[in-house]
Amino acid sequence: MPTDPIYLDYSATAPLRREAREAMLPYMEGCFGNPSSLHRWGREARAALDDARDRLAAVIGAAPSEVVFTRGGTEADNMAVLGRAHCMPQAPVVCSAIEHKAVLATVKAAARLTGAPFHVVPVDGDGVVREEQVYALLEEKPSVVSVMWANNEVGAVQPIERLADRCKEAGVSFHTDAVQAFGKLPVRVDEVPVSLLSVSAHKVGGPRGVGALFVRKGTRLHPLIYGGSQERGLRPGTEDVAGAVGLAVAAELAVRDREADMVRLGALRDRLEAGLRAAIPDLVVNAATAKRLATVLSVCIPGADAGALIPALDLEGIAASGGSACSSGSSEPSYVLVAMGLDGQVAAPSARFSLGKETTAEEIERVLATVPAVVERLRSFASA
């Protein structure tokens, strides 16, 4: 194992930022109260929770009452999709073909539970949803249309402004999973008329297991779990005050540094892309001509064994992802790449490199010095 492994899997998760950690600690120790309690411990905790809500709301341009803290991005997606489907059980549910499973599987589950149909709208070769097909479905008055802001595997940015506008005109609720876009693109609900928007803390340097769902005032949502009245009854259960504080602090920092970080990381990503293209001429860059997140490089490497590619990189000290983070090591081609029209044979050996705050130019050069040799070795042992 090389001495300094290189982490290029920030789209999977990012380390907790020091500032977030420090802001969280008081609420796990001294200020441990339950925000629902009336006494001073409760009041302190309540104040911290309200403050975190105000700060996160300000970051995305929402009113504090429109922010619901959740136990993560997946939960926020479930609350949005299922919550809308249960409000209109006869109405179809619509999403794109490249949604994260947190939306895709939930759309299918919603249809199964309500008996309503669902529509999965295809994407083009760059991983961008076929807008006109979404608009055609608006006539069926879906309970919700869910299209992610930016894709987690290839980084393709979706036309969220237009989709949100058209859904609003049609009087249809529009949800976007902004888990990957948040902190990397300007994600503002006062500029884009989305009804529902999911974010996750750990992708922006906050703690794991915390997220938020923006619910625009007037958007009806059926709760999924029952208990107390916390989070407007949408997410009962004693609030995770430290988690909410960590999310708010990490979100503020990510948004504050966003433009500078994205310029720097975009240049590093472009350097990585150019270097890999030069060393591996038949390498395919996914979503190459789409507007992409600056931090993501997804490539297909024909002839490199899909099951051995990520382990081989790992053994060289390079942490990349094979698409989705399923530990079973499935060599099934990624459904996102298949939806983009890459056939199974080409799509299977793929790797996603995702950059983050701690990524350095020196690391990118070391990756460029290592990956071509790994690919060469994989190809030389591939059976005919």
Compare residues 1 and 38 and give the one whose CB is closer to another protein. 1
Compare residues 22 and 314 and give the one whose CB is closer to another protein. 314
Compare residues 212 and 378 and give the one whose CB is closer to another protein. 378
CA angle 154, 118, 145 (to 5 degrees): 60
Scan residues 119-178 and list those touching another protein (CB under 8 A): none
Residues 262 and 294 sit within 8 Å (Cβ to Cβ): yes
How many CB atoms lie under 10 A from the CB of residue 56? 25
Q: 217-246 mask for another protein (x: CB under 8 A)?
A: ------------------------------
Compare residues 98 and 268 and give the one whose CB is closer to another protein. 98
What are the Cα distances from residue 286, in Å, to 256, 258, 273, 283, 346? 29, 24, 11, 10, 11
Residues 6+ apart with CB under 8 A from 321: 9, 11, 12, 310, 351, 352, 354
- Rounded Cα distance between 266 and 112, Å, is 41
Q: Pick from 317, 332, 338, 346: which binds another protein (CB under 8 A)?
A: 332
Q: Does 307 bind another protein (CB under 8 A)?
A: yes
- Match 């010095």 to its residue by tokens: 369
Return the range that interacts with another protein (CB under 8 A); candidates 17-25, 64-72, 131-139, 325-333.
Answer: 325-333
Q: Pick from 161, 270, 282, 314: which binds another protein (CB under 8 A)?
A: 314
Picking from 154, 150, 155, 357, the residue whose alpha carbon sits closest to that of residue 268 is: 357
Return the range that interacts with another protein (CB under 8 A); candidates 25-33, 39-47, 230-238, 306-314.
Answer: 306-314
Q: Does 303 bind another protein (CB under 8 A)?
A: no
Return the range that interacts with another protein (CB under 8 A); candidates 85-93, 234-242, 310-318, 350-358.
Answer: 310-318
Picking from 162, 203, 163, the residue whose alpha carbon sits closest to that of residue 181 is: 203
Q: Pick from 308, 340, 351, 364: which binds another protein (CB under 8 A)?
A: 308
Picking from 334, 339, 248, the residue whose alpha carbon sits closest to that of residue 298 is: 334
Residues designated as active site? 326
Compare residues 89 and 344 and give the one whose CB is closer to another protein. 344
Shortest Cβ distance from residue 59 to another protein (Å)? Answer: 34
CA angle 39, 40, 44 (to 5 degrees): 120
- Cα atoms in the 13 Å half-sphere on the side-chain side of 137: 26
Strand pairing partners for 175? 146, 196
Residues 173 and 196 sit within 8 Å (Cβ to Cβ): yes
Q: Pick from 305, 335, 338, 368: which binds another protein (CB under 8 A)?
A: 305
Q: Pick from 2, 117, 228, 311: which binds another protein (CB under 8 A)?
A: 311
Compare residues 1 and 260 and give the one whose CB is closer to another protein. 1
Q: 85-114 mask for another protein (x: CB under 8 A)?
A: --------------------x---x--x--
Reading the block at residue 266, the tokens are 């975009």
Q: Pick from 225, 267, 278, 326: which binds another protein (CB under 8 A)?
A: 326
- Rounded Cα distance between 92 and 245, Å, is 37
Binding site for another protein (CB under 8 A): 105, 109, 112, 305, 307-308, 311-312, 314-315, 326-332, 377-378, 381-383
